[in-house]
Amino acid sequence: MYIPFDQLPPQSRLWIYQSNRPLTEAEVAEIKPLLERFATEWSSHGKGLQASAELLHNQFLVLANNESATSASGCSIDASVRFVRELEERFKVSFFDRTRLAFLKDGKVQTVGMQELKQKVAAGEIDENTLYFDTLVNNYGELQARWPRPARNSWLSRYF
């Protein structure tokens, strides 16, 4: 069962996939109905999930499930991964590259390779107050309250 993204309960579980590039407006327009259809049909052991899906900042694909209604099973999570892989293929984009970090700078999403991080911190291009899109956020309430969040309030704090 589809739930509009902004109506998810705070405890809803999230899976955040960061694309390797911003999606174009045309791609976003094409992907959004696919996301809604997937969320509508997504199920666990034959029982429909109370799910939603959204594209944020034209760079983050977020799948969500109200776990207090029905938990996502291993099979349903596998189905979601297959769906995201299909989107990758169709739109020639990668959602599984975990070697890039995303920051909000000057109102735009900017990505930095993990191997560049220390250099960017040393140069002052990224500091403890730089807003970081932590893809490890795992529930809707946290996404709403602290996403993006200052880098010092994430696992990146060890760099400052």
For 149, the domain range is: 100-134+141-159
Mark whether 119 and 80 lie in a shared domain.
no
Domains in the chain, number: 2
In a structure prediction context, what are the per-residue pLDDT tens digits for the chain, which is 160 residues long?
899 999 999 999 999 999 999 999 999 999 999 999 999 999 878 788 899 999 999 999 999 999 888 878 888 889 999 999 999 999 999 999 999 999 999 999 999 999 999 999 999 999 999 999 999 999 999 999 999 999 999 999 999 9
- The residue assigned the tokens 């209604």 is 69
Q: Of the candidates 82, 95, 85, which has an alpha carbon nearest to the alpha carbon of residue 21? A: 95
Mark whether 10 and 66 lie in a shared domain.
yes
Give bridge partners of residue 62 from the DSSP assignment: 16, 54
Are the CB atoms for 45 and 75 separated by under 8 Å? yes
Mark whether 72 and 14 lie in a shared domain.
yes
Mark whether 9 and 87 lie in a shared domain.
yes
Mark whether 122 and 59 lie in a shared domain.
no
Mark whether 20 and 66 lie in a shared domain.
yes
pLDDT of residue 13: 96
Are the CB atoms for 8 and 54 separated by under 8 Å? no
Mark whether 113 and 54 lie in a shared domain.
no
